[in-house]
Amino acid sequence: MPMDDILLECEEKMEKAVDFFHKELRGIRTGRASAGLVEHIRVDYYGSPTELRQLASIAVPEPDMIVIKPFDPGSAKDIERAIQASDLGITPITDGRIIRLPIPSLSVERRTRLAAQLKKMAEEARVTIRNIRRDANKDVDKEEKEGALTEDDARKCKEEIQSLTDACAKKIDQLLEEKNKEVMEA
């Protein structure tokens, strides 16, 4: 595999890991209402697990309220059950057609636990990035051993892989810092 292909594959995988971490952060509850909090909840809809955003419109009319209006009013009970089964800790209020989720403010203890959870999630994302780096470096070593890359090219490639790793780790740290700030201030 040529050096450019190794770098491109490594970069794509690392970006996917950062994007996954970013999507995970959207599901972490803060004191403010956000559609991202519930849109990825899976609802058992006619025997098929379906994301909530595909079954209903999600609105945030107030800073402490999420309103969910199912496209199919018959699915309201299924949506309500899925929300209760999720680990959000929010009890839905429904009138049969519209589901309202009042977002209570977070206690100091809960904020501290969320901050610890965020830190753990960020470390898992960093480990994923480092594993991708390790695999890319193995590919470089293999190519060098087979004679497809010179020693200088292999060293240069490994340096570029390390700079990609550092850049992705920095993005993860920035996302973590922003979310931590949001959790602690909300």
Domain boundaries, the chain: 3-26+107-185, 35-102
Model-wide pTM > 0.85? no
Q: Decide which of 1 and 91 is more confident.
A: 91
> What fold characterizes domain 35-102?
Gyrase A; domain 2 (3.30.1360)
pLDDT tens sequence across 119-135: 999 999 999 999 999 99
Q: Residues with Cβ < 8 Å from 103, sequence gap 6 or more?
A: 29, 31, 32, 33, 37, 64, 65, 66, 90
Q: Which residues lie across from 50 on neighbouring strands?
A: 43
Strands 99-102 and 93-94: antiparallel
Q: Is CATH 1.10.132.20 the right assignment for the domain spanning 3-26+107-185? A: yes
Residue 168 CA: distances (Å) to CA of 87, 106, 162, 163: 29, 30, 10, 9
Q: Residues with Cβ < 8 Å from 84, sequence gap 6 or more?
A: 91, 92
pLDDT tens sequence across 56-71: 998 888 888 889 999 9
